[in-house]
Chain A
Amino acid sequence: MRALNPVVVIGSGVWLELACAWIAAPLRRFGMRVVAVVLPSDPAESRSTQFGPALTALCEHLACTPLSLIQQAQGHVSLGCHYEFAARQGFIPYGFYGLQAEASEFEQVVLRCLRESPALANTISIDALSVAAQAALQQKFAIAPNTRPDLQQALAFGGQMDSVALAACLHQHNLAAGVTYHACASLVCVRNTHGIAETIKTDNGYEQPVHFLIDCRRSSDVSSHATAATPALQQPFALRLWADSRPEPLSPYSSAIQLSGSWVVKHRLADREHWQCLLQPPATVALVLAELQQKTGIADWQQVRFPVPKGMDNPWQGNVLRCGEAAAVLDQPLYDGVSALSFMLPLWLALLPGQAMRPAAASLFNTQWQLFQQEVHMYLQCHTEPLATAQGQLFARAGRLLPAETDAILPAQWFGLLVGLGLRPALPSMLLATRSTTELFSAVHQIQHSIARLVSGMPSYTDFLALTRNAV
């Protein structure tokens, strides 16, 4: 049997720990080691982290429950995000709308009702047609039993967590999974003449041969040590603004508020609410601060300036995966870099590089990453100019979504966003053309009632937390 060098993960904070958490246990099962080389923390790292339903898959790897991880990471569950758009409000859930995941044309039924009878449409709210949205807005929460996979999907949840606490918690899991850690102030990557990363050398004299290098730095250039790095004088800067406020009544969701040229997002953490906003040039900071204060009541905002991430279309090259740099470009308050990492690392693992050089796997990985990136970019763009995107145009015309090539954005998120933005399709569904509007309204009302009944039977989020704490 070949003894392979370890997979070396470099970076800092929650992204480094998360990368290790995704890969350490599965690699260990097959006799492969993971070494983490920890660099000083990155000021651009956000103080809170929002995970979507990929959290459940991560917890399977870690052999813990999502709830215990969230609690250890000083966070709260999240059934989705409550949006305050410029002109209206809405909830964007992770779980599907209606009562059946695959119910054909349910969304079309709703759209037709909304479209056809404005008077009756007032009796329908799309938030009332999502179990998750109803539960969240009533501050309720429950985890569906394994015997109800449909309800589990309807109530799919993620978590909003304190980044430092989450990193510490993942660190413990990683140690248990055999990850070894080395801290340093800086490092160089020694490559062979073919550009393959061979060894990591740190400033404090540590040398680690590399089978594969996973680089979680937001801004890195492991190859730049071979060629002198050019100072990025012209590089534009982004500004992350953040503030904390006192916790309000416990709610299992995050919130987003639209500003004139940006968004502010609030994560509910165990001991505080954490607000953040990302500004890209040419935003005028003073104006944004004034608007932030007006919308949130918070006057005191902290700031960190960092170079606008350049993005990375081909993060896997040779035996190096530059996932930090790739994820950084999607790490905006409305989308979290951990979701991008939680796409890349399982995919990398599935294409498991037994050999260090896997050009075909790398090429496929990069193609998949580009698709993921495109879908997230389109989602983010849709927040401000939906009709400039193919998705928004198709929805406005036919009420349909483009086929997704990845799970970057779940169908319920798209639907919630587009309807929340006020888009209504011009064309009715022909698959429903023979059904009368009265019949459809009655079906929708029935589902609305069933959801209301279901949610009324759920415990409040506070009671749920108390119950689970007692159970532990």
Chain B
Amino acid sequence: MLKQRIVILGGGTAGWMAAAALSRFLPSQQYSICLVESEQIGTVGVGEATIPHIRHFNQWVGIEEAEFMQATGATYKLAIRFQGWGTANSDYYHPFGVSGDMLNDLPFHQVWWWLQQQHQPTYPFDHYSFAVQLAQQKRFRFPSTDIADVASSFNYAYQLDAGKYAMLLRQHATAQGVSRIEGKVQQVLQQPNGDISELVLEQGMRLKGDFFIDCSGFSALLIGQTLQTPFENWQQWLPCDRALAMPSAADVDPAPYTLSKTMAAGWRWRIPLQHRTGNGLVYASAFLADDAAEQHLVQEVNETGFAGASIKALRFTTGRRQQSWRHNCVAIGLAAGFLEPLESTSLHLIQLALEKLLLYFPVHTAGQSIVSTSERDAFNDQMATEYQRVRDFLILHYKVNTRSEPFWQYCAHMSLPDSLQQRLALFQESGQLVAYRQGLFQPASWLAVLLGQGARPNETDFRLQAAASAPYSAWLQQYYQHLKMQAGQSPSHRQALDNSSRSSNAPPVHSLYGYREASAAGGRVCVR
């Protein structure tokens, strides 16, 4: 039997994630997988902050956590800390966890907001999250699977070295039979029906394939340049178009969170790893000159110990290909689209595309086009929904602000996609948010950002009109103290990292927010 030839173009994180996942599942007797990459072109080399689903991916492709932590110099990540978002002096966390519990069948945030309206003392919304308490105290423990335990109310991800992660994936993929070719693709040949048939490399080598995965990064050599798939530009909503990245020395006491701090026309990140710290700046070139941006980044990094490393400059356009699967080619990673790294979603979107690709994987039938529109449409529709919902969540961070700089003013006044407009209007009207069936960020995340950035609903929940505030107030106070104490008894992040090569991790759960949120029975409290 002739093997179906799968060609992956690109050896960045997307390419090697694809290679590791496909080689894990496709039987080697039926499929050959070959990855082409060009050292001359190199990779984007960033992509260090992740979300909890990556734990699932690692398990899926057979990478143990201990091996992973060591190989990638990873740290644990519980949240993103947002400084200056919404207002110049805001400081809040978007945790991988929920704040509070349902109280008497009322969402916690409604009670919290109502108590504030009653002039009862409360802490900021995020302080009622166990993940935030751990993050603030720079502590880490694995989540619990017992939903009675507050430690079941969060999940965790990693901050990793992208280059090392790609290398680890490469080891796994090549051990699973993926062949690697070094070289630059110069020409792409197509069949009369438009399907891609061959890649021609600079050295003259020709690489035939039945199915192609385009992981060629921003150049989108197959899906864009060859198949001419239109690009949907989302820059009017996400106006940042440049980034700078530079490493600095490792922190002695690294934080279990990613920092995102605004500046006049964008924001900067700080991602502590075991062996170094990743820093970068994302900005809008229409509002900030490149040299001013560079100066800003260097100055900020210097404040926390400059390593003197070189700066990498990147340009991008936010948006996505209208279809990531066309003909016999699926684009994954930056070739499929780019959403700025504000919520660390890119690796997740790669993972999701791979999971869906495997659900709909085409089978070779000799002499026939191997792909039908059904699976292609299903894949494209589902990926479009996922991208669009992440996009809306990112726009939210920019839109909800009262800052005075021209860039922020532009964002505050820009018109919104209908899907986001509808969600925001509902929140504004009544503080309500509806969970998505498909889509990564659920109400817990939207609330963290909305309330963290100072948005408040017009009305408190009318169901609380007849309630007495004292029992609720007491519950909140007690819950906060309990979280704080429990967090204080957890190991420091540093200790947890030192033990990471021998600790037993928690099994991955398919919710950003941990077991309690994933369980229908979790998180309901009766307050009297």
Across the interface, which residues of B come within 8 angstroms of A398, CB to CB?
359-360, 374-375, 378
A351-B430, A394-B375, A398-B374 given as contacts; is B422 within 8 A of A427 (CB)?
no
Interface contact B372-A397, CB-CB below 8 Å: yes
A-B residue pairs in contact (CB < 8 Å), sample of 9: A30-B466, A351-B430, A354-B459, A364-B434, A368-B434, A398-B360, A430-B26, A431-B358, A433-B26
Interface contact B361-A427, CB-CB below 8 Å: yes
Please pick, from B358, B372, B429, the residue contacting A361 in the complex, using a CB distance under 8 A. Answer: B429
A30-B465, A354-B462, A358-B430 given as contacts; is B359 within 8 A of A363 (CB)?
no
A409 CB → nearest B CB, Å? 13
Interface on chain A toward B: helix, strand, loop, or mixed SS? loop
A-B residue pairs, 5 tightest by C-beta = A354-B462, A360-B425, A430-B361, A30-B463, A397-B374
B454 CB → nearest A CB, Å? 20
In the complex, whether A118 has a CB less than 8 A from a CB of chain B is no
A121 CB → nearest B CB, Å? 20
In the complex, whether B437 has a CB less than 8 A from a CB of chain A is yes
A394-B378, A433-B25 given as contacts; is B461 within 8 A of A361 (CB)?
no
A32–B377 alpha-carbon span in the complex (Å): 47
B365 CB → nearest A CB, Å? 9
Q: Scoring B residues 413 to 442 as 1 if CB is less than 8 Å from chain A, else 0, what string do you get?
A: 000000000100110111010100110000
In the complex, whether B471 has a CB less than 8 A from a CB of chain A is no
A binding-site residues for B, Cβ under 8 Å = 1-2, 4, 29-31, 350-352, 354-355, 358-361, 363-364, 367-368, 390, 393-394, 396-398, 400, 402-406, 426-431, 433-434
Across the interface, which residues of A come within 8 angstroms of B289, CB to CB?
none
Interface contact A363-B422, CB-CB below 8 Å: yes
Q: Give 7 A-B pairs besides A360-B422, A426-B372, A427-B360 with Cβ atoms closer than 8 angstroms.
A: A30-B463, A355-B459, A360-B430, A364-B422, A364-B426, A406-B437, A430-B361
A349 CB → nearest B CB, Å? 10
Interface contact A30-B425, CB-CB below 8 Å: no
A397-B374, A430-B26, A433-B30 given as contacts; is B461 within 8 A of A354 (CB)?
yes
Interface contact A430-B25, CB-CB below 8 Å: yes
Across the interface, which residues of A come within 8 angstroms of B438, CB to CB?
403, 405
Across the interface, which residues of A come within 8 angstroms of B375, CB to CB?
394, 397-398, 427
Across the interface, which residues of B come within 8 angstroms of A361, CB to CB?
426, 429-430, 432
Chain B residues with a Cβ closer than 8 Å to the other chain, count: 32
Interface contact A400-B437, CB-CB below 8 Å: no
B239 CB → nearest A CB, Å? 26
Interface contact A400-B360, CB-CB below 8 Å: yes
Interface contact B378-A404, CB-CB below 8 Å: no
Please pick, from B358, B378, B462, the residue contacting A352 in the complex, using a CB distance under 8 A. Answer: B462
A394-B378, A430-B361 given as contacts; is B462 within 8 A of A360 (CB)?
no
Across the interface, which residues of B come within 8 angstroms of A404, CB to CB?
437
Please pick, from B422, B425, B437, the residue contacting A403 in the complex, using a CB distance under 8 A. Answer: B437
In the complex, whether B382 has a CB less than 8 A from a CB of chain A is yes
A400–B375 alpha-carbon span in the complex (Å): 9
Across the interface, which residues of A come within 8 angstroms of B382, CB to CB?
403
In the complex, whether B363 has a CB less than 8 A from a CB of chain A is yes
Among residues of A, the one whose C-beta sits closest to the C-beta of B438 is A403
